[in-house]
Amino acid sequence: MRLTIVLLALCFLSTVPSRAMGQTKFVSILDSSQVMNNPSDSSATGFARLTLNAEQSELAYSVRLFGLDLKPDAENRIDPNDVVAIHIHLHVQDVIGPHILNIFGIPAFDDDDLMIDYENESFSGVYDASDASRNPVTGEVLPQAFPLTTKLFPTSFRLEELLNNEWYFAVHTVGTPGVTIRGAILVVPEPSSAMLAIFGLNYCWLQRFRLIRRME
């Protein structure tokens, strides 16, 4: 099932050129194998596509989840597969990195452009400067060192992190104490179709190898 979802995602994403009119494309495949701390055994998956506009002022994203449930009311999120939080994080070796963007649930819905399709477990939005966490009294952007806040974007070092593949999606659920599934956000080089095909084949090979190892 997981391989089927990955292949469908790759086929869909490969129809989009990686650089069109100066835009930069990214992809992310989410699963439990990428969780670094408190590893998850969840079979849930997800895939995402992202586009940084030519002016590098906003990052549009679209994400679809499989095997997890998005619910609009926090009091109804009680089942193990109910999503309680979705964030973009900065990758930091051996630890859970600070939040970059709070998308869904705890601690905040910071993306003003967020649209959620609860029936299809998918969501999309646009990350830009208006989403940064601010002091509710003064309106000033909160210090960027705060680990749980949405950071100001774009800045030169945030763009550098993004373009160096240092960001990742993290999805948290009721049934998992830490991160349930995680996905690195990766730049799609030219030509996009070829690179996505190679990425997909490598992913399939890795999953097949893991399956064989478990059967031994």
Q: Read off the pLDDT of residues 188-208 as tens digits, 9 standing for 90 and up.
A: 986 655 555 566 556 555 554
Total structural domains within the chain: 1
pLDDT recorded at residue 77: 97
**What's the pLDDT tens digit per position in 119-173?**
999 999 999 999 999 999 999 999 999 999 999 999 999 999 999 999 999 999 9
Q: What is the Cα–Cα distance from 72 to 82, expressed in whole angstroms?
A: 10
**What's the pLDDT tens digit per position in 81-96?**
999 999 999 998 877 8
Taking phi first (over 0 means left), then psi (-120 to 50 degrees means alpha), and beta for anything else, what does residue 147 get? alpha
pLDDT recorded at residue 212: 45
Q: What is the Cα–Cα distance from 47 to 62, expressed in whole angstroms?
A: 8
Beta strands in 53-197 (DSSP E): 59-66, 83-90, 99-105, 115-117, 122-127, 167-173, 181-184, 186-187
Angstrom CA distances, 82 to 64, 124, 169, 181, 208, stand at 14, 18, 17, 13, 28
**Tokens 């969780």 identify what position?**
35
Q: What is the Cα–Cα distance from 36 to 23, expressed in whole angstroms?
A: 31
Angstrom CA distances, 20 to 17, 54, 197, stand at 6, 9, 19
pLDDT recorded at residue 40: 81
pLDDT recorded at residue 67: 97
Mean pLDDT of 57-70: 97
The pLDDT of residue 111 is above 50:
yes
pLDDT recorded at residue 189: 83
Mean pLDDT of 178-187: 95
Structural domain for 191, as ranges = 2-215
The pLDDT of residue 65 is above 90:
yes
